[in-house]
């Protein structure tokens, strides 16, 4: 592919920025597939241009890489806009290098600054290798925490979505023995507020319908299997119901995810990471999207890691990145979304 056709002018839409992530991983590989994507606004990859060109040659991909300088146009088939961010040292696919750790941070920093200045439609992130960033001396917990700090917000919410299911989390990466103590009235209220607001504001669902997992087996079974539902969870949920929010009380998680319940839900709120996400990923692994709610901008991400062993081999799938990009574009367009991403 090496299209030379004239770009079609459009009405000055802000670009969607896609970070290419860890340079030695599959981020550059899957970002190159965006050259096949057609859209109504520029999609711009944040990457070292020479790195992308080298990886394209390694993969046998014919692509025209174009410097993005605010053009009021979308790329044609086979073209890819790039905002050049230089690596520090040459990259070998599959081989991490501490000297390039800050390259990833510079991508995220640029994207966040553009989003906070309201000069982009949103951010899509390819995977990063947290270990190499931290080993280089840069404290880094993850994308979510990075954007939360940059935006200066008190709390964000992790939500993953497939074509048929959205699952948001009250707690995320905590050891299981710490989960119950972390589910407080304040935290549950903050998470629910963000979930309701962003389903309305970013997903354009006027009256979202939310199902909530209990913490304990059988949602506590009237206190015989745990009393968090009685003491904390249901009192909070009842207040939302009294205020007109279409939200369930705590339901047994082992039966909540059956199709009969889900057909009337826009999202599920799970209490902890491995309560909701195994169900979601079993339905759509590789095609799920990670969405950060509570930020003043749109941020979606792939649902997988850097896959160093696949980098440069041609065996990496870009399906999750494509879905993440499509969803970000849909959210940015203001179109009403269905009961799925």
The annotation status of 281 as a binding-site residue, yes or no, is yes
The annotation status of 292 as a binding-site residue, yes or no, is no
Long-range contacts of the stretch 131-134 (C-beta < 8 A, 24+): 132/22, 132/96, 132/97, 132/98, 132/101, 133/101, 133/104, 133/105
The annotation status of 290 as a binding-site residue, yes or no, is yes
Q: Which two tokens stand for residue 24?
A: 């030695």
Is residue 15 within 8 Å of residue 41, measured between CB atoms? yes
The annotation status of 204 as a binding-site residue, yes or no, is no
The annotation status of 100 as a binding-site residue, yes or no, is no
Q: Which two tokens stand for residue 277?
A: 């996400």
Element (H, E) at 236: helix 234-242
The annotation status of 304 as a binding-site residue, yes or no, is no
Q: Which two tokens stand for residue 332?
A: 């940015």
The annotation status of 273 as a binding-site residue, yes or no, is yes
Q: What is the dihedral of CA 271, 231, 266, 182, to 10 degrees?
A: -30
Burial class (CB in 10 A: 0-12, 13-18, 19+), 239: middle
Rounded-to-integer distance, Cα 108 and Cα 124, Å: 10
**Degrees (nearest 5) of the Cα angle 75, 9, 330?**
65
**If phi over 0 gives left and psi between -120 and 50 gives alpha, with beta otherwise, what is residue 169?**
beta
C-beta atoms surrounding 287 within 10 Å = 18
The annotation status of 143 as a binding-site residue, yes or no, is yes
Which amino acids are annotated as binding site for a divalent metal cation, given as ranges? 173, 218, 273
Which amino acids are annotated as binding site for substrate, given as ranges? 143-144, 281, 290, 299
Which amino acids are annotated as binding site, given as ranges? 143-144, 173, 218, 273, 281, 290, 299
């Amino acid at each position: 592919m090496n299209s030379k056709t004239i770009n079609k002018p459009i009405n000055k839409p802000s670009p969607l920025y896609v970070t290419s992530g860890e340079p030695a991983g599959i981020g550059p590989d899957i970002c190159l597939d965006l050259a096949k994507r057609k859209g109504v606004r520029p999609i711009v990859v944040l990457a070292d241009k020479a790195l992308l060109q080298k990886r394209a040659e390694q993969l046998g991909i014919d692509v025209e890489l174009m410097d993005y300088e605010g053009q009021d146009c979308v790329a044609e088939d086979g073209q890819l806009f790039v905002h050049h961010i230089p690596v520090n040292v040459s990259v070998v696919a599959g081989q991490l290098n501490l000297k390039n750790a800050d390259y990833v941070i510079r991508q995220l920093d640029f994207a966040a600054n553009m989003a906070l200045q309201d000069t982009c439609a949103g951010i899509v992130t390819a995977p990063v290798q947290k270990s190499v960033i931290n080993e280089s001396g840069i404290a880094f917990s993850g994308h979510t925490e990075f954007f939360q700090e940059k935006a200066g917000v008190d709390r964000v919410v992790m939500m993953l979505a497939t074509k048929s299911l959205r699952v948001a989390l009250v707690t995320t990466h905590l050891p299981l023995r710490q989960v119950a103590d972390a589910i407080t009235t304040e935290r549950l209220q903050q998470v629910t507020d963000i979930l309701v607001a962003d389903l309305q504001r970013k997903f354009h669902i006027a009256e979202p319908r939310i199902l909530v997992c209990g913490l304990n087996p059988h949602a506590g079974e009237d206190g015989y299997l745990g009393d968090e539902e009685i003491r904390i969870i249901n009192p909070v949920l009842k207040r939302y119901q009294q205020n007109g929010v279409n939200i369930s009380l705590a339901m047994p998680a082992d039966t909540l995810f059956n199709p009969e319940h889900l057909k009337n839900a826009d999202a599920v709120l799970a209490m902890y990471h491995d309560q909701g996400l195994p169900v979601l990923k079993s339905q759509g692994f590789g095609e799920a999207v990670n969405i950060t709610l509570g930020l003043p901008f749109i941020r979606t991400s792939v649902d997988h890691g850097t896959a160093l062993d696949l980098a440069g081999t041609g065996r990496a799938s870009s399906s999750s990145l494509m879905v993440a990009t499509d969803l970000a574009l849909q959210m940015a367009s203001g179109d009403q979304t269905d009961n799925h991403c």
